[in-house]
């Protein structure tokens, strides 16, 4: 079922590819809200259900923008906030009616936590057979233990390959497992929507943080699963490529990313040592990996003749992949200079919030940024009136 007329009722133009699709968002923190923001950017009407004190991330500050925690702003644009207390009979009835009328429901309660409210998949499906119901858990449907990104970074092995022998295990500088899981959830939802379009049948989409972390570890997990090798922390070095890491120069560091033997040959020429590419110790991937301890001092010596900026200019001109190590501010500025428009102003009129742009480009149905991240409960009365049929 699609609800083209819902867009006007909640203040959106409804021009995206998911226009008319109603999402009941019972998630909070990051993985679930990130997924529902992706859907909202694509035009879906997302009704974010919050408790009396709101999503936890409303209180995760500093930093702030005015009174808003920037963490909350990260994943909640283009949504309508409604406050519902499940312990209140009328509010619970409203939540159940929302689930009945929605096309998609996303929740990240503890496994089985919504059953007592009649908002679990089986109950919702009974009244709404076409529902695409997405559950995000920490450890799967049979384990009620709460999952937090940091815990999963440790449990999955992610931290064991991040950092160096000297530093010991180090977490990523962002909640990367939550982001992995949010994206996996979005993909699952879109697949289920495609299936429903063909069959009219909804389904239960299940993702969990641990499985997403193991998938997101990609070649590192595969090293163990397919090769029987347990990866170890290597600092900024790569287990399979060399040189593929930051290298010191006369001033600062430069990242050099050699992805094939031809690139290494060109690098050797630019650095004034073409003989390296003919040396049987360094000529191909496998040999460079085995003999990196012999090659590295020579590389560092050659790079010490110029600064990181000088080498960046020279290597870039030669078509070799390289980069400085930027701050996030410099990263945003770089994207701006390349015309990538990394900042999107979300909202209109009196409330406009700068947010990080959605990275998906669609030529016919581009993403939109109609609504700023909502204040707590700002759409409660409008949504309740809609649920009562007072449109």
Which residues participate in catalysis according to the annotation?
A: 178
Please state, in angstroms and rounded to a whole number, the distance separating the CA atoms of residues 224 and 124.
Answer: 40
Backbone angles phi and psi of 138, in degrees to 5: -80, -40
What is residue 173's DSSP assignment? S
CB of 197 closer than 8 Å to CB of 128? no
Cis? peptide before 63, omega within 30° of 0: yes
CB of 299 closer than 8 Å to CB of 271? yes
Residues 6 or more apart whose Cβ sits within 8 Å of residue 197: none
Helix ranges, the chain (H): 6-9, 31-41, 70-73, 89-101, 121-127, 149-155, 176-199, 209-216, 219-225, 261-270, 275-278, 285-290, 292-303, 308-317, 328-337, 380-387
**Residue 238 is inside which H or E element, if any?**
none
């Amino acid at each position: 079922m699609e609800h083209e007329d819902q867009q006007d009722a909640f203040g959106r133009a409804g021009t995206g590819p998911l226009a008319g699709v109603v999402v009941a968002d019972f998630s909070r923190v990051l993985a679930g809200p990130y997924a529902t923001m992706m859907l909202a950017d694509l035009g879906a009407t997302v009704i974010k259900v919050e408790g009396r004190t709101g999503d936890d991330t409303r209180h995760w500050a500093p930093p702030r923008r005015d009174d808003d925690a920037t963490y909350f702003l990260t994943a909640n644009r283009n949504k309508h906030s409604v406050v519902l207390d499940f312990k209140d009979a009328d509010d619970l009835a409203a939540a159940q009616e929302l689930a009945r009328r929605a096309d998609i429901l996303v929740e990240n309660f503890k496994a089985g936590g919504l059953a007592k409210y009649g908002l679990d998949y089986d109950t919702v499906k009974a009244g709404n057979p076409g529902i695409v119901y997405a559950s995000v858990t920490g450890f799967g449907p049979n384990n009620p233990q709460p999952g937090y990104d940091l815990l999963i970074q440790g449990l999955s092995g992610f931290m064991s390959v991040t950092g160096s022998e000297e530093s010991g295990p180090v977490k990523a500088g962002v909640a990367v497992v939550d982001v992995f899981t949010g994206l996996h959830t979005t993909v699952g939802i879109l697949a289920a929507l495609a299936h429903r379009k063909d069959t009219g049948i909804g389904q239960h989409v299940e993702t969990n943080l641990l499985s997403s972390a193991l998938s997101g570890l990609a070649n590192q997990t595969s090293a163990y699963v397919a090769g029987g090798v347990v990866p170890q922390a290597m600092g900024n070095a790569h287990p399979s490529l060399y040189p593929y890491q930051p290298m010191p120069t006369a001033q600062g560091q430069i990242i050099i990313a050699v992805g094939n033997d031809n690139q290494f040959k060109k690098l050797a020429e630019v650095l004034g040592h073409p003989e390296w590419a003919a040396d049987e110790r360094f000529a191909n991937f496998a040999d460079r990996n085995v003999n990196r301890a012999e090659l590295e001092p020579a590389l560092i010596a050659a790079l010490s003749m110029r600064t990181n900026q000088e080498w960046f200019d020279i290597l870039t001109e030669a078509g070799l992949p390289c980069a400085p190590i930027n701050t996030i501010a410099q990263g945003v500025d770089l994207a701006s200079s390349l015309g990538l428009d990394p900042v999107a102003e979300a909202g209109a009129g009196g409330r406009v919030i700068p947010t990080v742009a959605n990275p998906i480009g669609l030529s016919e149905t581009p993403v939109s940024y109609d609504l700023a991240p909502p204040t707590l409960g700002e759409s409660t009365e409008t949504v309740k009136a809609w649920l009562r049929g007072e449109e």
